[in-house]
Amino acid sequence: MDSLVKHGVILKPTDLEFENLGVLNPAVYQEGNTVHMFYRAAHVGNFSSIGYCQFNGPLDLVQRDKKPIIFPEFIYECHGVEDPRLTKIEDTYYLSYVAYDGVNAFGALAVSKDLKKWKKKGIITPRFSALAYNNLLHEKKIKESDPNALYVKHNNESKHHFNPITKDDAYVWDKNVVFFPRKINGKYAFLHRLLPAIQFASYENLSDLNAEFWSNYIRSLDQHTVLCPKYKHESSHIGSGCPPIETADGWLLIYHATEKSEKGLIYHACAALLDLENPLKVIARLKEPIVSPSETYEKQGYVNFVVFPTGTAIFDGRLYIYYGAADDEIAVASVDFNELMNNLKNQSDENDIS
């Protein structure tokens, strides 16, 4: 995009034990001129917690805690609480994150009234083994042209079929849970990612998200799919990135796309526009990424060639996109908000999950 500016790295790891390996993939909440940032902090051994810092404006770091604000407490997250996203719905903050036990990765939720004290609500995504998941997908007849075939193919090729410790059938990973900032049709709504696409789910009460709910959901997974890999820069998989931004033209979604290349996987930041009352309807989708790895801090790190967007803020008509850079540091890029929206509105898109 013509207006793209890369502002560089704004947060680096320190010598503190909880963040001495890397800082990455931050959740962001803008409150006036203040940017609250909850970031994944990794320490040696790649165990993760969530640290907190605060910016005055988009780039001026003014506060940084010396201890994590959220950390592993339960078996299902014993290896890490990772990759947070943050949304405020009515008077409550919803912080979704990846709960990782060293083998399995699930979407989990914590809530707060003040951004200081957090109450964990547990895992909210489905918990099915690769075999059980595959069986659910196959309950409808699968043809090459059936959208569910995309998930069957990816599940069959997955590297996570077996727990390397117990040799048991492992759980299917479900990551990148991102809440919408208001209820949609009277229900809480979120995006999530069963590889290789982005899905939409909603509920009235957290207790609704039980095994029966997810079994029925997966049987017709194609009907819950928002975006599938479509372009060259999405040749591996995609996933929801930043919390959707409500505009008069639709929900602006900044998501990540992963491209297969001779150098390995390359992560990009991309944009789409979803219908306000039916986010399953894609209004527009850019055919090219808005941010790709081009700088050394994006191309060389713990994982090379990574731009992983997880939070946004708007200052003076510019959209600031906060992202993990090479899984090492946190960086920011910005684009003119109106230019981005105009580019999207000039590129209509139809749902294509083939």
pLDDT averages per 10-residue partition of the chain, 354 residues:
96 98 98 98 96 98 98 96 98 98 95 98 95 84 60 69 58 95 98 97 98 95 95 96 98 98 96 98 97 98 98 98 98 98 82 42
Contact 87, 243 (CB under 8 A): yes
DSSP H helical segments within 71-144, as ranges?
Answer: 130-137
The H or E element containing residue 323 is strand 318-325
Nearest-angstrom CA–CA distance, 284 and 301: 33
3-state secondary structure (DSSP) of residue 130: helix
Are the beta carbons of 48 and 100 closer than 8 angstroms? yes
User: Under the phi-then-psi rule, with left for phi > 0, alpha for psi from -120 to 50, and beta for the rest, what region is 206?
Assistant: alpha
Q: Backbone phi, then psi, for 131, in 5-degree steps?
A: -70, -45
pLDDT of res. 166:
54
C-beta atoms surrounding 58 within 10 Å: 22
Give pLDDT, residue 153. 76
How large is the C-alpha radius of gyration of the chain?
A: 19
**DSSP summary character for residue 122:** E
From CA 163, how far away is CA 149, in angstroms rounded?
A: 24
Element (H, E) at 240: strand 237-240
- Measured over the CA atoms of residue 133, residue 135, residue 139 and residue 144, the dihedral's sign is positive
Q: What is the DSSP letter of 194?
A: -
Q: What distance in Å separates the CA atoms of residue 93 and residue 70, rounded to the nearest whole number?
A: 14
Angstrom distance (rounded) from CA 189 to CA 240: 13
Closest Cα to residue 229, out of 253, 250, 202, 260? 260
pLDDT at 352: 45
Token pair listed for 290: 């808005």
- Looking at residue 151, what is its pLDDT? 82
Supply 240's token pair.
């929801």
Phi, psi at 321, each rounded to 5° = -110, 120
- Location of structure tokens 């713990």: 302
Q: Find, among 266, 209, 208, the residue nearest to 237 by Cα.
A: 266
Question: What number of other Cβ atoms are within 10 A of residue 2's Cβ?
Answer: 7
pTM of the predicted model as reported, rounded to 2 decimal places:
0.94
> Residue 32 CB: number of other CB atoms within 10 A?
5
Angle between helices 130-137 and 148-157 (to 10 degrees): 160
C-alpha closest to that of 59 among 320, 325, 328, 298: 320
Calpha distance 109→146 (Å, rounded): 32
The contacts found for 110-118 with CB under 8 angstroms, 24 or more apart, are 110/70, 115/29, 115/36, 116/69, 118/69, 118/70
Diameter of the chain measured on Cα atoms:
57
